[in-house]
Structure formats: structure tokens, C-alpha cells
Amino acid sequence: MNLNRLLRERLDAGRPVRAGLIGAGKFGSMFLSQVPTTLGLEVSAIADLDPDRARAACRAVHWSESQIDAVAFVADGAELCARDDVDVVIEATGHPAAGIRHALAAIEAGRHIVMVNVEADVLAGPLLAERARAQGVVYSMAYGDQPALTSELVDWARATGFEVVAAGKGTKYLPAYHQVTPDDVWSHYGLTAAEAAAAGMNPQMFNSFLDGTKSAIEMAAIANACELAVPADGLAFPPCGVDDLAHVLRPQSVGGCLPQAGMVEVVSSLERDGRPVYRDLRWGVYVVLKAPNDYAAACFRQYGLPTDSTGQYAAMHKPFHLIGLELGISVLSAALRGEPTGQTRGWIGDVAAVAKRPLRAGETLDGEGGYTVWGKLLSAAQSAKQQALPIGLAHGITLTRDVPAGAVLTSNDVALGDQPAVAIRQEMVSRYQPSP
């Protein structure tokens, strides 16, 4: 509340909030579409490897030529971070190593940073957030994306005195999806390859949503921001509609599917036989909470909050997320309040690379959504003990030995090299080493 009032006050004082966007893809374009109608918010610079593509993105979201001419277009994200006319940096490349590099550059320059790049956040978020706090700037999740929206629900529940039993999102999932590659991804979306290409859709990116990797990354981010546990053997993806959230996502001790209370989990919009779930949550987020006493439980019933059969467990959900259309909330919260819309606080969940098929020494891994690996959610303790290879580093590196299908890759299976992202990851692991 009050962000619009604060923004108008800044505008009246002649000090609009100035954002710099790195990455003019779908998420960035959706943000850009809202800027002209958000009075007091400006985009002073856009960085993209192809500045002409960024200009085309502005035209696609109906910016005028005069608005485009007022923006500095650059090819280097680090150059954008150093600009004096940027208050808040938005990192929307989706590339983990680039995201870490840009976050460090923004923090060093004293700029707030909104990390759309969840892949980078899961790879080294605790360390990046710590460095931002030490520099007196905000490091924030991106409002409109599911991790930030889920974190908001968790914060609401805890701030009103409820125990958070489960939190997460919905997605389309079947177990066989873990082996899907970019070659056959479009059939699962009801598209032909030609239709997808005409729409500018990237098959590897969309496959990361389908093969379970993106769900694992987002749940790790929520676990790390909200101090929630992760399942011991990865996400279970139980089929569940919005009416059954409080029944399904409660502890096994009372008839639910969770090993314990206080966990992240993703619900599937498909039954295991492929039938659609009734009133699914494919695009939304949820929190399941528990009443602290019988009086509060009675209030659930009296005021229409859906509960399980005991009346003690209830669920809140948001049936959609609008990604970049809502991103301005994070930008304004950072600039006007000095507050993040969700932030990594510790290392609780991690995402390990798992072989999609038998892999041979000498092969090059192609990362999230590709042909070689998918990402599995693990606890940070499990990941550290196994020396698991994080999915964020499993791109463009060479295997040094064979790995069977279904196995978690380890750092001993690859030649990591000395790239900066590797060093930051290793520092993060050493500083935030979890208890076994």
C-alpha cells in the first residue's frame, strides 16, 4: 500500500524513480509495457546483447519513438550498472553467471537490484543478499514471479500469527516430463515447432518449465527466502486443485502428503493418468496455514476460508501471476521504501543437475531445459554432502567421466574451470554450509 502515493510525491519533487533493465526478453518486455502508464517511473537505460532487439521490444509494447529516443541502449550490463542515471537495476537475462556478474556490479555501484534471474539467486543468493545489505542497497526477488508472490503469502500468514504448513505454486507436470528435450517440447504445449518459432518462443527455455527444472529452482528460492524445508527426495508434484489444497498439503500424520509441516511443494494441474485436475492452480501460488487454536479455526469457517475436514488447516491462493506486468512493485519498493519484495535469507534448498540419459565423458552439458540434464530440488545439506553440481553451473562444461541416466551429477564429474560464477558459488557454500 501507498507505493503510488510515494511515487507521486517523488514525481512532484522532480525525482522520478529511474530503472535500468538488463535483458529485453519476455519478462523485460512485459515490464516495459507498463512503464509509460506508471507516472513517476522511468527507464533510463536498457542493456541487451543485441541493442536493436531491445529497441524492437520497446516498439512491440507500443512505446513511441520519442520515448525510445530518451533511453540509452547498451550491450554491456555492467556498463548499465555503473550509470549515474540508474537507481534500480533489473537483472532479467535468465543466465546464472551473467546474473551474478551484474548483481555484483550493481551492488558495487550502490544500485538496488531486482533479481528476476532466479537461476542466479539459487546459485549464490545468500552471498549476494549479504553483500547488498553490507553496501546499504536492496537485493530483491521480482514481484509478479511466483517466488515473490508466494513469499508475500507466507509473510502475510506469519504476520497474522498463523503457522505456515506449506507454500508453493502450481504447474503442469507428469513424471515423464523429466526426460523431455527441446525437440519434443512443443507437443506438450499444443504447438507445432513452426508456430512456436513464429511467436519467438525459445524451446529450451519453455522446456525448463516442463521438465521440472524451473519448479525446482523456484521452490529453492522460496525455501531460502522463507526458511521452509524441502522434500528429502525432490518435489512430489501431487495432483491438486484449489479446493483441496488444505487437505492434500498437510502433514502425513493427519492424512496429507507432507513428511512434515513447514515445507515447499508444487502441485500438478494433471492427474497421473493425464486427466486435468478440477479447478487446477497451474498459473498460481498458494500457502497452507494452521489455526493456532479452536477459536481461530471457527473463524475460518465463519468467514469463508476453505479448510480441510478438521477445520484446522486452511489455504489461501492467488490463481495467476503476471510476471513482468507486476515487476514495478519491486522496483518501487526498493527505491521508495528500501525494502525487498522477498529476499534470500539462507541456504536451505538447492537444485542439482540430474542426467536425462546416459552421459559420456567428453560430452558438453547444455544446462537448464536442454538435452542432457534436468534440475532436481535437494536440501542444501544433501547438496553439500554429495557435492552436487548445481544446475546453474551445468551449462557449457565438459564431463570428465560417464554418468548414468537418473544420477545426480557431482563436481567431480565435470571440469568446472575458474570462471567467476564458480568462485562465488564456492564462497557461498563455504560461508553458508548447512548442518547435516
In angstroms, what CA-CA distances link 17 with 6, 14, 334? 11, 10, 10
Nearest to 379 by CA among 216, 178, 232, 212: 232
Lay out the sheet containing 414-415: strands in order across.
Answer: 364-366, 395-399, 414-415
Decide if 368 contacts 211 (C-beta within 8 A).
no
Mark whether 52 and 116 lie in a shared domain: yes
Which domain covers residue 156, as residue numbers?
147-173+212-320
Mark whether 161 and 270 lie in a shared domain: yes
Mark whether 156 and 301 lie in a shared domain: yes
- Structure confidence at residue 239 (pLDDT): 98
* Inter-axis angle of helices 213-226 and 118-135, nearest 10: 30
In angstroms, what CA-CA distances link 365 with 359, 393, 400, 425? 9, 9, 11, 18
- Structure confidence at residue 435 (pLDDT): 66
- Judged on CB neighbours under 10 Å (0-12, 13-18, 19+), 425 is buried
Half-sphere exposure of 36 (CA within 13 A, CB side): 15
Would you say the pTM of this structure is higher than 0.75? Answer: yes
In angstroms, what CA-CA distances link 104 with 35, 136, 391, 402, 420? 26, 13, 20, 35, 11
Decide if 173 contacts 181 (C-beta within 8 A).
no
Decide if 303 contacts 112 (C-beta within 8 A).
no
Task: Confirm whether 225 is domain-assigned.
Answer: yes
Task: Confirm whether 410 is domain-assigned.
Answer: yes
Decide if 7 contacts 39 (C-beta within 8 A).
yes
Mark whether 291 and 157 lie in a shared domain: yes
Task: Confirm whether 201 is domain-assigned.
Answer: no
- Cell output for 145: 514471479
Q: Which residues of the chain, if any, have pLDDT below 50?
A: none
Task: Confirm whether 96 is domain-assigned.
Answer: yes
Task: Confirm whether 311 is domain-assigned.
Answer: yes
Task: Confirm whether 180 is domain-assigned.
Answer: no
Please identify, among 275, 303, 337, the residue that sits at the C-terminal boundary of a domain.
337
- Structure confidence at residue 425 (pLDDT): 95
Mark whether 99 and 39 lie in a shared domain: yes
- Cell output for 365: 552439458
Mark whether 35 and 55 lie in a shared domain: yes
Decide if 230 contacts 169 (C-beta within 8 A).
no
Task: Confirm whether 184 is domain-assigned.
Answer: no
- Judged on CB neighbours under 10 Å (0-12, 13-18, 19+), 234 is buried
In angstroms, what CA-CA distances link 143 with 147, 153, 194, 248, 324? 8, 12, 32, 27, 8
Mark whether 258 and 316 lie in a shared domain: yes
**Number of structural domains, the chain?**
3
Task: Confirm whether 254 is domain-assigned.
Answer: yes
Mark whether 169 and 233 lie in a shared domain: yes
Say which residues have a Cβ less than 8 Å from residue 168's Cβ, sequence separation at least 6: 150, 219, 222, 249, 264, 265, 266, 267, 285, 286
In angstroms, what CA-CA distances link 24 with 58, 105, 238, 341? 9, 19, 35, 21
Residue with cell 546474473: 99
